[in-house]
Structure 1
C-alpha cells in the first residue's frame, strides 16, 4: 500500500539527486548552490557543501569521502575530511553539456551523465555520452549515443541502468570487473526514439520523461516522470506496476529511511532555471511504499 506524500523539506530552489546515506537524506539544490542533508523527517537540516558550479549527482568513495557533480564547470568534486572541496575529475573536455547525475560503484568509479546540449537555451536535442571517472581522476567515455542520460542505478548483480529522458526508455549495461559497460540493451521502452530535435516538440510526446531514479529490493525502478507529474515503478521489460501522483512536477527520487520504505521525492513547479533561481518553491517530499530500497 502506498501512502500519501508529505513535505519534509521546503524553501529550496530546485532539488535533485537525493541519496540515503548513514541515516540521513542528502540532496543537491541546483540554484541554492549547496548540498544539504537531513534526518528522515526533515529535521536537523544541515549544509554539507557549498558548490558555486551548481551541484547535482552525489555519491561516496569506499573510504567515505563525498563526491559531488559540479554541473556548469563539468567537474566531479571530492570533499576531504576537513570539509574542503577539491577537483576529483575534470570532465570539461569530455562532456558536451552540463554534467548531471552520477552513480558510484563499490570500487569508487563514478559514472557521470551530461545534458549533451544547452537545455536551458532551448537548443536542438543532441545525444550525449556517459563517462567514468576513476578514483585517480582519469576520465573515460564508456557509452555514447544516449538521449539525455539522466538517473542511473547499479543493481546488486552488476548491471548499470541509465534513464534516457528524451529516448523514452531505460538502457542497461553489464558492468565489467575493470569498469567497462558492455552488452547494451533496452531494459524498458515507453515510446519511440525522437525523430525531431526540437525540444518544444519532443517533450510533449514523451510517455515517460524519465529524470532521477532509484532501485528497490525486488528489482523495480522508481522513475520521476518530469513532464507527467508522477512517479512510476517499472520492472524489466517496461511494465509500470505502480504510479504515484503527488500533485506537482517531480524530478528525482530515492528510497531510504529507517526501514528503507520511504520514497523521497524532489518536487518543484517546473525546471526552468530563471524561474527556479528567483523563487524558493522547491520541496522534498516523502511517501511510504511497500518494497524497501535495494
Structure 2
C-alpha cells in the first residue's frame, strides 16, 4: 500500500542517499555512482556533477561549491568535481573503506562517517571538518555510521550505527565541536536506522532500512510515530514544509519493486 506516497519520475537509484534542503533546492547523492543530483519540484532528478569516487554526502559552502564525504576522505567540490582534498584518512586502511553519510552542524562544521565495503565490525569512524579545513577523527569503532543529525542549537548530535541497530546521542560543545557523554537514544530491532533529520519541534526522524518505514522519535527517545514507506530500503529523509521526502535504494534486492530506489514524498 502506497499510503498516499508519490514518486518522482525517472531513475530508481541503487543507493540514493544524503537528502538535504539547501536554500531553495533539494539535493541528494547516489553513493556508488558518485553522483550529486538536484530533485526538482516537478520532473526527474537532474545530475549536477559526477565523481570518479563514491559520494556519501555533500553540504554547501558559504562561498560556493560543496564540502563532500567522498572516496576515502573529505573534499571540496566545484562545478565539475573535486577541487582539492582536505584529508583522505581512510587511504591505505587494512580493510577497503569509503565515506558514507555526512552533514554540516549549525556552526559550519562538517561531520561524516566512514565504513568498510564489507561492513567489517568496528572498522568505521566519524570525522569532523572544521571551517578552517582541519579534519579530526572524533569517534572510532563504528560499523556503518549514518547521520549525523543535529538539533537546532547544535548542542545535541544523533548518530546511527546502522549495522548495530542503535541511534546514539551525544552532547556537543558548540564552541569547540568536542563531543560529551554518549547515550543510547533508541534501539531498532526490525530493520536498521539509516539517514536522519531533526524537525522544527526537535523530534528525530529516521529512515529504517529493511523495514520499509520512517520513524519519528521524541527528544526523550520515545517512539512517536511510524510511517510505512512503499520501498523496502528507505535511506534518508527530509522534512520540506508540510511534506516528508525520502530516498531509497535497490542495492542488494534480488527483485526490486516498482518504487524501490525511488524518491518518495507524502504529506506529514
| TM-score bucket (shorter structure) | 0.7 to 0.9
The unaligned stretches of length 5 or more in structure 2 are none
CA distance in 2, matches of 1:171, 1:45: 32
TM-superposed deviation, 1:153: 0.7
**TM-score scaled by length of structure 1:** 0.78
Report the CA distance shift for 1:274/1:132 in structure 2 as closer, same or farther (over 3 A). Answer: farther
TM-superposed deviation, 1:47: 2.0
TM-superposed deviation, 1:251: 1.4
- 2:38 aligned residue: 37
- 2:267 aligned residue: 288
Report the CA distance shift for 1:112/1:273 in structure 2 as closer, same or farther (over 3 A). Answer: farther
- 1:186 aligned residue: 184
The unaligned stretches of length 5 or more in structure 1 are 191-205, 290-294
CA distance in 2, matches of 1:137, 1:255: 29
CA distance in 2, matches of 1:74, 1:275: 31
SS of equivalent to 2:183: strand
TM-superposed deviation, 1:145: 3.0
- 1:266 aligned residue: 247
SS of equivalent to 1:166: helix
- 1:162 aligned residue: 159
The residue correspondences of 1:106-125 to structure 2 (distance < 5 A) are 106-115=106-115, 117-119=116-118, 124-125=120-121
- 1:251 aligned residue: 235
One of 75, 99, 110 as aligned partner of 2:73: 75
Report the CA distance shift for 1:61/1:273 in structure 2 as closer, same or farther (over 3 A). Answer: farther
CA distance in 2, matches of 1:88, 1:154: 25
- 1:57 aligned residue: 57
- 1:153 aligned residue: 149
Report the CA distance shift for 1:240/1:106 in structure 2 as closer, same or farther (over 3 A). Answer: closer
CA RMSD across the alignment: 2.8
CA distance in 2, matches of 1:50, 1:275: 27
TM-superposed deviation, 1:113: 0.6
CA deviations 1:100-126 (Å, max 9, x no partner) are 0111123432111111x333xxx6423
Report the CA distance shift for 1:90/1:12 in structure 2 as closer, same or farther (over 3 A). Answer: farther
In 2, are the aligned partners of 1:222 and 1:253 still within 8 Å (CA)?
yes
**TM-score scaled by length of structure 2:** 0.84
The residue correspondences of 1:175-214 to structure 2 (distance < 5 A) are 175-176=172-173, 177-190=175-188, 206-214=189-197
